Amino acid sequence: MSENLLNLLRQAGITPKKHGHNAKRGAEFCSPCPLCGGEDRFVTWPEAPTSGGGQGFFWCRGCDFSGDVIEFLRRVGGLTFKQAAARAGKRLPLRPPTLRLPGSPAPNTAKGPAKIAADGISSPSRPQGPELPGVLWREKLGHFVARCRERLAENKAALDELAARGIDPAAAARWRLGWNPGDRQGRDLYRDRAAWGAPPATRPDGRAKRLWLPVGLVIPAYSPAGDLLRVKIRRPRPQSGQLSGPRYYVVPGSSRELVLLDSGRPVVVVVEAELDALAVAALTPAAALALGSAQVKPSGAALAHLERARQILVALDADAPGAQACAWWLERFPRARRWPVPQGKDPGEAYAAGVDLNAWVRAGLNPRLKLELGGTLPGAAREISQVSPASGAPKSEPLSERSEFGEPGRSERGENRESERRSGKGAPAPAEIPPSVLELAELLADAPVVFEWSRTSGRQRLVCRSKAFDRAHPGRVRRISELFFFDPAVENYLIDHPAEEISAANLLYRGRVPGQGANPQPERG
């Protein structure tokens, strides 16, 4: 059964409204764009025939996102082309056989080049780089970004607004932010599309559109190799009245590839807006990924990085769409956890309200990363030191006041553990613990899962004390079960464990690793 664009929009939490009827494309619907938001900029013609023989076409007047059902499923649903085509009910043609001359080498039928690891096991190669915009586009927009960078240094109001969101001038320069002042009268710029390498577009009356470069904050995105991928412009709000058109505008011709900032870090914080990602990358030990919209799913290099990440903190906006989209992340990535900001709806608002983003991220780390990065141990007191940028007055707020964090608050036991850690008497260092035990500690963090076993009868069982958690994290619970019951290193570690009921709170216990000649002692709080 083929998919319908209107149904796909509703599944993404968007309700399209009928706007009119087009003589060539049929019924016309308008709605917010699943990528850039807005109110009615996303136009859908569910009955329009497509060049591939399908039905249904869409176009966003804000970010220029357009295509058919397959493109929607790929970009918004995060599916591969084959998966999207199958769901759209389209059969792909069979690839014809390859003719080969006698004596010539056989063709490589692998999906991608493979490399041989040191242990002799072949592993898939790294994902291919992102698809780049055209050379002319990158040249013209590269000069545009460079000029705008110079103008930002002269715009104190724009720099102050960035600083209020956690992006100081050094961070703005690092990420090559800029300011487009427009023409001499401060009006938006318009350029010839062909001369700038932008894709052609026509108005409803058939006239060619010019390339629009509105006044505003210029936010470029670059590939790891330094190639310009995308230019987005954040338009300022007018002093009176409402802003006409989109708040965020993606320059046509930009790549849709998601860019991970500081990808070499072990933790990834997933946010919606680019400015929030810049603040997280600048102020915390985590990498940051901006989706642009809560409904966008990662693919390509960004997906590969997320699958290798040791922890993912999903910090989508603290609103209904963000909470709805979060469920996909928790099911797709076993090491993901929901981690909204304690104040406001996003990291930018939280910083403006005085939240220390560095402390907020560190409070969400799993036990192993807490030990490695110098954070607190499980169960320790978690407070966010807050300093208001405006007043400079320090204050602190327990993170546990926001219930969805699932974090324990201040306790005497937690304070004792923190003092033991500082004195070297707490949990063993990460180097002393088997890797599979440390992986288990990561998975157990904030999970209502308990492993029970009896020394006398030998009876063992794994208990998940929340059916909702079990349904939301089936892959995570399954991996916890595999480690507890089938991993030899975990089994040896648990033989000498002093407790018969093991959870995230006591898995890492005081003393040396079992088998090294020391009698481990449990932590005493």
Q: Which tens digit of pLDDT belongs to each residue from 6-64?
A: 888 888 778 898 888 877 778 889 998 887 777 788 889 888 877 666 678 888 877 77
pLDDT(361) > 50: yes
pLDDT of residue 459: 66
Mean pLDDT value across residues 233-258: 88
Over range 446-461, report the average pLDDT: 75
| DSSP conformation letters of 385-443 | EEE-TTT--EEEEEGGGSGGG------HHHHHHHHHHHHT-SSPPGGGS-HHHHHHHHH
| DSSP state at residue 469 | H
pLDDT in tens, 119-132: 333 333 344 556 78
Query: Over 50: is that where the pLDDT of 449 sits?
Result: yes
How confident is the model over 311-320, as pLDDT tens digits? 999 999 888 8
Nearest partner of 454 among 493, 407, 412, 502, judged by Cα: 502
More confident residue, 152 or 462: 152
- C-alpha–C-alpha distance, residues 397 and 393, integer Å: 13
Quick check: 100 pLDDT over 50? no
On the question of pLDDT at 5 being above 70, the answer is: yes
44 or 494, greater pLDDT:
44
- Beta carbons of 174 and 212 less than 8 angstroms apart: no
Cα–Cα distance for residue pair 283/272, rounded to 1 Å: 17
Mean pLDDT in the chain? 76
User: Residue 72's pLDDT is what?
Assistant: 86
Report the percentage of the chain scoring pLDDT > 90. Answer: 27
DSSP assignment of 104-133, as one string?
SPPP--SSS-EEE-TTS-EEEPPPPPPPPP
Res. 274 pLDDT band, cuts 50 70 90 = very high
**Residue at token pair 């709605």:** 31
Residue 94 pLDDT greater than 80, yes or no: no
pLDDT at 382: 30
At 91 the pLDDT is: 64
Phi, psi of 494 (to 5 degrees): -80, -20
The per-residue pLDDT for 455 is 59
Residue 378 has pLDDT above 70, yes or no: no
Taking the C-alpha atoms of residue 407 and residue 401, their distance in angstroms, rounded to an integer, is 9
Residue-level pLDDT at 112: 41
Q: Is 35 buried (19+), middle (13-18) or exposed (0-12) by CB count in 10 A?
A: buried
Query: Average pLDDT in the 462-481 region?
Result: 85
Q: Using alpha carbons, select from 353, 407, 398 the residue that is nearest to residue 378.
A: 407
Among 298-312, 388-402, 497-511, the range scoring the smallest mean pLDDT is: 388-402
pLDDT for the residue 408: 30
Which of the pair, 455 or 340, is modelled with greater confidence?
A: 340
How far is the C-alpha of 305 from the C-alpha of 287, rounded, in Å?
A: 10
pLDDT at 374: 59
| 78 pLDDT more than 90 | no
Q: Is residue 347 over pLDDT 70?
A: yes
pLDDT, average across residues 359-371? 79
CA-nearest of 285, 339, 288 to 316 is: 339
Q: Is residue 149 predicted with pLDDT exceeding 70?
A: yes
Mean pLDDT of 376-386: 30
